Amino acid sequence: MVGQLAADSIERRSGVSLWRQIADKILHAIAIGDFAENAALPPEVALAERYGVNRHTVRSAIAALVQEGVLRAEQGRGTFVLSRKRLSYPIGARTRFSAGLQGQASERHTVLLTSSVEPASQRVAEGLGLARGTDVIRLETRGEADGRPVSRAAGWFEARRFAGIDAAMTATGSITVSLARFGIDDYLRQSTMLSARHADAADLADLDLQPGAIVLVTVSVNVTPDGQPIQFSESRFPAERVELKLSAL
């Protein structure tokens, strides 16, 4: 006996199919460490009995997770866990992407996907303390750990002050280093709003998720030590691969 899946029941006529709910439960069990890497899942008939559903329904759930790269099924042997526990992503006053993931993933980096200049929307202007419509630079980035996307972020900077930050980001691959080129040696996370929702079409593509997944969303403002706003950002994290560790803000 290796792992223990939650025995609580599942909901019918909920708008969420039974196989999706069971897949979520298996993901959760793996995420909290109920199954070690390469551990065998209970046989399909046992899972079916535990959740009170047909074996084929369990198979649908497993098929989705195999498709997702979480499980590996071997005929005659069993079904095995491929992926490790969720990454624990730190959120704090001095959160820096790669620093906090040390020891959890052997390889990690941030990719700049697109950059553009646009007029500040209402919320971006509010966050940065600018007039609405002021030109801002938008950087779209993706954070990856061991080749899997673990975050997708959009960051906005005042265009006049940070002209060329997109090039710096491309060259250095780091927001922190890029900001240093503009004389920002230190910055703090001023405020963070946190919510969760179902992944939409953009999330599915950006984070390589399967439909029905859940994303955590943070909206935050970074400021200099003297309180001057420099960056407004919205980040999305796949809840099945990441949990957030709130440290001293």
Partner DNA sequence: TATAGTTGTCTATATCAATAGACAAATTTA
Partner DNA sequence: TAAATTTGTCTATTGATATAGACAACTATA
Binding site for a second copy (CB under 8 A): 6, 8-11, 13-17, 19-21, 23-24, 28, 31, 64, 86, 88, 91-93, 190-198, 200-202, 204, 210-212, 214, 216, 218, 239, 243-249
* Binding-residue pattern over the window 194 to 223 for DNA, x denoting contact by CB under 7 A: ------------------------------
Q: Are 41 and 66 in contact (CB under 8 A)?
A: no
Does position 60 interact with DNA (CB under 7 A)? The reply is yes
210 binds, among a second copy, DNA, none (CB under 5 to 8 A by kind): a second copy
Residue from 76, 103, 183, 227 in contact with DNA (CB under 7 A)? 76
Report residue 49: phi and psi, to 5°: -70, -45
Which of a second copy, DNA, none interacts with 57 (beta carbon under 5 to 8 A by kind)?
Answer: DNA
Binding partner of residue 45 among DNA, a second copy, none, CB under 5 to 8 Å per kind?
Answer: DNA
Task: Find out whether 94 and 188 touch, Cβ atoms under 8 Å.
Answer: yes
- Residue 124 tokens read as 């971006």
How far is the CA of 74 from the CAs of 28, 41, 57, 81, 94, in angstroms? 22, 11, 18, 11, 45
Place of tokens 């065998």: 40
User: Which residues, at least 6 apart from 132, have a Cβ–Cβ distance to it below 8 Å?
Assistant: 119, 120, 121, 122, 125
Q: Which helix (H) or strand (E) holds 245?
A: strand 242-246
The helix (run of H) or strand (run of E) holding residue 168 is helix 165-172
Among 5, 30, 31, 53, binds DNA (CB under 7 A): 53
Least distance to a second copy from the beta carbon of 245, Å? 6
Backbone angles phi, psi at 17, to 5 degrees: -65, 155
Among 3, 78, 90, 173, binds DNA (CB under 7 A): 78
Compare residues 24 and 44 and give the one whose CB is closer to a second copy.
24
- Residue type (1 letter), 78: G
109's contact among DNA, a second copy, none, with CB below 5 to 8 A by partner kind, is none
Tell me if 1 contacts DNA by CB under 7 A. Answer: no
Write phi, then psi, for 64 (nearest 5 degrees).
Answer: -65, -40
Binding-site member from 3, 6, 17, 243 for DNA (CB under 7 A) = 17
Q: Does residue 177 sit in helix, strand or coil?
A: helix
Residue 23 interaction partner, one of DNA, a second copy, none, beta carbon < 5-8 Å per kind? a second copy
Instruction: Please report, as ranges, the residues that interact with DNA according to CB under 7 A.
Output: 12-15, 17-20, 41, 43-45, 52-54, 56-57, 59-60, 62, 73-79
